[in-house]
Amino acid sequence: MNPRPRGALIAVAIVASVLLCGCGGLWAAYALSSDDPAPAEVACATQPGDTYGYCDRLDEIEVGRRALNAEQWAAASAVARSIRETLAGAPADARPNGIARILLDAGYSGAVVRKARENDPAPPGSIAYGVPAGAACVIGYRTPDASANIPAGPLPTQTCLLP
């Protein structure tokens, strides 16, 4: 009997997250799996009433970005974890300038931080950010209730998030 591959366990966790929490919980499940040094495949089930288009945005994260190799993914995953810990202490009502200052003070220069736009892989009204992490990026969002981030390749413009 073959043991189940780790990817199958991640997929089960993602599906369970989608079913229990709605599609908004999917990014968090994906972010938790991002500590894996190899890129993970992600499946998303559209939820009734999802006017945000969460699944489409999750797919768009990779479109046009340079693919990361396992070493780059692992390094960016460590940065993503560090950024999550850094931002965990930020006030819930922090504004983009406040988040940018926290990231800069923690040594993350070059970050783009702003209110999420319609084409961002972030919920409406959230603060979106893109942080260079070596040859990779960490892209994420923050709301008063939730936050998440993931490793990603840079855009063709060599930036992490459009300014």
pLDDT tens digits, 66-117: 889 999 999 999 999 999 999 998 998 899 999 999 999 999 999 999 999 8
pLDDT digits (tens, 9 = 90+) for 33-51: 334 444 444 455 565 655 5
CB 159 within 8 A of CB 130: yes
CB 23 within 8 A of CB 47: yes
Full-model pTM: 0.68
In the chain, where the domains are located: 6-152
User: Mean pLDDT of all residues in the chain?
Assistant: 74
